Amino acid sequence: MTNPSQSEFLWFLQLSRDGEFIGTKEKPPRKPTLAYLQSLISTAGEAGFEGLLTATNYHSEHENYTAAVAALARSAPTDPALLIAVRPGMFHPAMYAKMLATLQNLFPGRVRVNIVTGSSPAENAMYGDREDHGKRYERTREFMQILRQLWTAPPPQSFSSDLYDFENAVLDPAPVQPIPMYFGGASPVAQGIAADLADVYLMWGEREDMLAERLAQMRALEAQTGRPLRYGLRTHVIVRETEAEAREAAERLISRVDPDVRAAFVASHAHVDGVGQKRQIDMMKDLDGDLMVEPGLWAGVGMARSGVGVAIVGDPQQVAAKIRRYEDMGFSSFIFSGYPHLEEARRFGELVMPLLKGGAREERAIHTDRVAPVA
């Protein structure tokens, strides 16, 4: 019996140097040249991914909108879409609505947007953004409202609030196709914004009981708003021919974490005010030496990387089974990544994608004693 997945699968467009190890003092060897970005996009497409996420943070070597435009211009029309992340504090929404509409009209069907409120005031301050948590989310709500208004309502359009004020804005032509809005955030205010305005609500990988709790909260909000939502999961993945090889690859990834780099990373936790990032940090506390938080989910990436700190780890059948469990919970959009990104995209496409997009659904146990309940 076959059970092909109806989900969408996206990969990650690495805009910083790429390599086999994380947490080192030395920069990874592979530079994010335009040629490499294009190779990563085409490889992801060959592997079966529908799109790639371009993240936004101060530490990336490239500003992501500029890199996205260059990559779209260089790639083939049949290559995957780009999910372009944006921080509302960096752009005026009326201008950004026009920028994305232009991209969608030039590259039909290949543009999506991920709204990122930001979890670290210290990092936001690098962009000149000093708003507190509450004000950032107020701004995010209005940013998303304005994008939707300008993309769907006939011009001219006006808007007036304490945050944004513009008059008779003209966005013509409108996007040739709708631009899906992805949005994540674990706080109650973030969940409310997602229920009101997002197309896809994104969560970082957590234990299944934690995810089930948040899904229940969001479905309650869906019932109140009457707006259907799709749910997405962002996580790393490490797959090999055998579970033992996958575990070995996971340990190798963090085998060169420098103590000074690790200490500085832990110190940076004091500046985090995002609920989702705090949940990632708390999830790593009191783990055993293998860093497994539940069967098939490993927290080693969180030793040296902010954002999502977990990876699905196992052989192809185990990884596919874990993804199937997430699908059964209600997730239908997945954003994966792995180091180095080109090789891991190809490996996932060869080993796992056939099991998800047309292969037989095979449940296979992942050997660990740490089992978390599923709500």
Over residues 20-33, the pLDDT tens digits come to 999 999 999 999 99
pTM, two decimal places = 0.90
Q: Determine phi and psi for 141, rounding to 5 degrees.
A: -60, -50
Residues 283, 169: Cα–Cα separation, whole Å = 45
Judge whether residue 288 has pLDDT over 70: no
pLDDT digits (tens, 9 = 90+) for 208-253: 999 999 999 999 999 999 999 999 999 999 999 999 999 999 999 9
Residue 107 DSSP code: S
Q: Enumerate domains of the chain plus CATH numbers.
A: 8-236+315-357 (3.20.20.30)
- Residue among 197, 205, 173 at smallest CA distance from 300: 205
pLDDT of the residue at 129: 76
Q: Is 72 helix (H, G, I), strand (E, B) or coil?
A: helix
pLDDT digits (tens, 9 = 90+) for 30-62: 999 999 999 999 999 999 999 999 988 667 889
Which residue carries 């229920």 as its tokens?
A: 195
pLDDT of the residue at 369: 33
Joined tokens for residue 182: 């992805």
Count of Cβ atoms closer than 10 Å to residue 185 Cβ:
26
Judge whether residue 310 has pLDDT over 70: yes
Arithmetic mean of pLDDT, 255-261? 90
pLDDT of the residue at 370: 30
pLDDT digits (tens, 9 = 90+) for 311-340: 999 999 999 999 999 999 999 999 999 999
Q: Is 364 helix (H, G, I), strand (E, B) or coil?
A: coil
- Of the listed ranges 120-129, 153-162, 300-309, 350-359, the one predicted with least confidence: 120-129
- Detail the DSSP E strand segments found in 200-244: 200-204, 230-239
Mean pLDDT value across the chain: 89
Comparing 170 with 2, which gets the higher pLDDT? 170
Strand partners, 239: 314
Which residue carries 């752009």 as its tokens?
A: 91
Separation of CA 128 from chain center: 24
Instruction: For the chain, give the percent of residues with pLDDT over 90.
Output: 74
pLDDT of the residue at 323: 98
pLDDT of the residue at 269: 64
Residues 165, 86: Cα–Cα separation, whole Å = 20
Q: Is 173 helix (H, G, I), strand (E, B) or coil?
A: coil
Judge whether residue 1 has pLDDT over 90: no
Judge whether residue 301 has pLDDT over 80: yes
